[in-house]
Amino acid sequence: MNRNLLIIIGILLAIIATMLTGNIIVIGDKLGRLTHVYVEYAFYGVILAAGAFYIVRPIIKVHRAPEFPKLSAEGLSTAPQLRTFARRLANNCDYIADRQQADKLPLGRCRRTAQHHRTGDNAAHGGQPRDGGAGGR
């Protein structure tokens, strides 16, 4: 990305974060004046917990996610390199669903098995394709 664009986006995000933080503080202060001070602290705690749950937790999950395996053996010439490649590929097979698991996956509104979708059996959908057969509906 262009460096100037990143700087502009960063400045805009900082402005939005400052405005949001200011509004949260004002709301908490008004809650503290209207009710007991512990309600204000509880409000700040709820906001902090929600921020951790909806902002920090997804970032940590993405950071800790395993990397996608390399799916080609190009450039690997020795036997140990190929064994390491095969081991990594075998350890990361959970990215590719087994045929038995694919049959158990939900298919949207269709309650039938995945078999009629693989074979093209449209009788389960009133003889029409899954999209309704209206051509652009």
Using the predicted structure, report yes or no on whether residue 101 has a pLDDT greater than 90: no
Do 106 and 87 touch, CB atoms closer than 8 A?
Answer: no
pLDDT in tens, 115-133: 555 555 555 555 555 554 4
Q: Is the pLDDT of residue 86 over 70?
A: yes
pLDDT above 50: residue 135: no
Task: Of 83, 84, 85, give the one whose Cα is nearest residue 71.
Answer: 85
The two structure tokens encoding residue 122: 């449209």
Residue 122 confidence (pLDDT): 53
Of 36-40, 95-99, 125-129, minimum mean pLDDT range: 125-129
Average pLDDT over residues 76-84: 81
Q: What is the pTM of this model?
A: 0.47
Looking at residues 70-88, what average pLDDT do you find?
77
How would DSSP label each residue in 87-104? Answer: HHHHHTGGGS--HHHHHH
- Position 93 scores a pLDDT of 66
Range of 34-38, 84-88, 114-118 with top mean pLDDT: 34-38
